[in-house]
Amino acid sequence: MKDLESLSATQAIKALSKREIRATDLLLSCLDRIGQKESLVRAWTSLGKENALSRAKQLDKGAFQGILHGLPIGVKDLYDTYDLPTAYGSPIYANHYPVADAVSVALMRQEGGIILGKTVTTEFASFKGGATTNPYASKHSPGGSSSGSAAAVADFMVPLATGSQTAGSIIRPASFCGVVGFKPSLGKVSIAGVKSLSVTLDTMGCFGRTIEDVGLGLAAMSGDHRLAKIEVLHNKPRIGICKTSNWSAAQKEAATALAVARHAAEIIAKGTVDDFSLPMACDDLTQAQSRIMLSEMSRSLLFERIHYAKKLSPQLIKQLSDGATISYEQYAKDLLLANHAKTAVAELFTNEIDILIAPSAAGEAPSMRDGTGDPIFCRGWTLLGLPCININVASGPNGLPVGVQLITGPGKDHFLLSAARSFALALPDPTLRDQA
């Protein structure tokens, strides 16, 4: 079997489980690809080649270990790994080796996953871009903060990689890089062993080339193995297009993407799909998310700000300073607003709608000099803690991918995967259907 690095995670696992391919050969194919493209894409902060090869050889000799048996995985450099340096995107932690894996990393290893290396994150998962470029066009951003993970999967360096989202750090880079990104329900995956930016918002997820891939990844990361088996969507779901209150920020290609998405949604809904507005309780979610994030950041990174201020970027220093000016009274008020909004949205998904489709980003990936892109179309969904998945549906004026995100009710991660798979299969472009 040739071009093993081009296999999706699900395809690779099926071949590995039947012993049609060896974990060693798959790993070497991924390493060859990295060798060819890393100087341009710059997705990695470190690679553990020797440990990974040793692990692959061990798995090839033994019994089938778990749902990720023999699969090379990239881990965002925000997650602790005992055998690879974890710098959290900052020079403060250069050559830092944690004593233990993050919980989700340990679970992935237990399921037979091979941790190939650490992928680039922005500084402490904030907004200062890293070295990674967009695999489609090197002068454009891959998004942030999970930039290396999205780019590594998009460029066939690994079939699966972890990410995290506090504002839009899974969905946005997935859209910019044309891969599937899955942000599950808040709390679905343990944040233990992951450098926290905002305890109210931090959500762990992953990137793959197909919906089945991210279901597989989340099944291992969470321990909920139901996610590894996507059920066929039998009923006609109630679907709405939600442009959100931030629609004025959308570019022309975002509107095109929603039009394509509406057509696919009408096929699986077997009827008209109308625009849908969120309850009034959600009116100020974007602003509240931003304040909560900044306020919690200012406390989460207080140690670094006090002791290592000279090693923090001016951009991050300003964010931390802005966060420190937010009163605790305002912070508590925003948390209360979020709770009211969560209650209203939970009722909405129970009584009126099953799936909402919204922009993943304002448009295609911006140029590197313009930063990692605005997470404006993700902030509210992140604060609500809802499961979201990005699917590539169109392209922008520079030919770069443009995605939409499917959103469903709290805790309905398994249903979201089923709906997303049906949605992808209904897309008009046969190439885009491969995301299913």
Q: What is residue 230's predicted lDDT score, i.e. its pLDDT?
A: 97
pTM of the shown model: 0.98
Asked, for residue 401, whether it belongs to a domain, the answer is: yes
Asked, for residue 302, whether it belongs to a domain, the answer is: no
Say yes or no: 175 and 273 in one domain: no
Render pLDDT for 143-181 as a digit per residue (tens, 0 to 9). 999 999 999 999 999 999 999 999 999 999 999 999 999
Say yes or no: 223 and 248 in one domain: no
Say yes or no: 123 and 215 in one domain: yes
CATH of the domain at 11: 3.90.1300.10
Q: What is residue 177's predicted lDDT score, i.e. its pLDDT?
A: 98
Q: Which residues are catalytic?
A: 76, 145, 169
Asked, for residue 233, whether it belongs to a domain, the answer is: no
Render pLDDT for 13-38 as a digit per residue (tens, 0 to 9). 999 999 999 999 999 999 999 999 99
Say yes or no: 223 and 257 in one domain: no
Say yes or no: 392 and 246 in one domain: yes
Please report, to the nearest 10 degrees, the dihedral formed by the alpha carbons of residues 85, 90, 93, 96 taken in order.
0
Asked, for residue 301, whether it belongs to a domain, the answer is: no
* Structural domain ending residue among the three candidates 228, 258, 273: 228
Say yes or no: 88 and 221 in one domain: yes
Say yes or no: 156 and 268 in one domain: no
Asked, for residue 293, whether it belongs to a domain, the answer is: no
Say yes or no: 103 and 34 in one domain: yes
Q: What is residue 2's predicted lDDT score, i.e. its pLDDT?
A: 65
Q: What is residue 123's predicted lDDT score, i.e. its pLDDT?
A: 97
Say yes or no: 256 and 212 in one domain: no
Q: What is residue 227's predicted lDDT score, i.e. its pLDDT?
A: 98
Asked, for residue 306, whether it belongs to a domain, the answer is: no
Q: Is the peptide bond before 54 cis (omega within 30 degrees of 0)?
A: no
Render pLDDT for 277-317 as a digit per residue (tens, 0 to 9). 999 999 999 999 999 999 999 999 999 999 999 999 999 99
Say yes or no: 252 and 204 in one domain: no
Q: What is residue 306's predicted lDDT score, i.e. its pLDDT?
A: 98
Give the chain's domain count: 2
Q: What is residue 423's predicted lDDT score, i.e. its pLDDT?
A: 98
Residues in the chain: 436
Query: Which residues make beta-bridge pairs with 114?
Result: 72
Instruction: Take residue 243 and report the two structure tokens written for it.
Output: 């442009």
Asked, for residue 318, whether it belongs to a domain, the answer is: no
Asked, for residue 118, whether it belongs to a domain, the answer is: yes
Which residues touch 26 (CB under 8 Å, ≥6 apart)? Answer: 4, 5, 7, 12, 16, 56, 70, 71, 72
Residue 129 has pLDDT above 90, yes or no: no
Say yes or no: 42 and 61 in one domain: yes
Q: What is the mean pLDDT of residues 63-81?
A: 97
Query: Which domain covers residue 414, as residue numbers?
Result: 239-284+330-433
Residue 205 has pLDDT above 80, yes or no: yes
Render pLDDT for 311-356 as a digit per residue (tens, 0 to 9). 999 999 999 999 999 999 999 999 999 999 999 999 999 999 999 9
CA pair distance 124, 351, nearest whole angstrom: 39
CA pair distance 204, 162, nearest whole angstrom: 8
* Structural domain ending residue among the three candidates 182, 198, 228: 228
* Structural domain ending residue among the three candidates 164, 197, 228: 228
Say yes or no: 67 and 187 in one domain: yes
If one counts every other C-beta atom within 10 angstroms of the C-beta of residue 158, the result is: 30
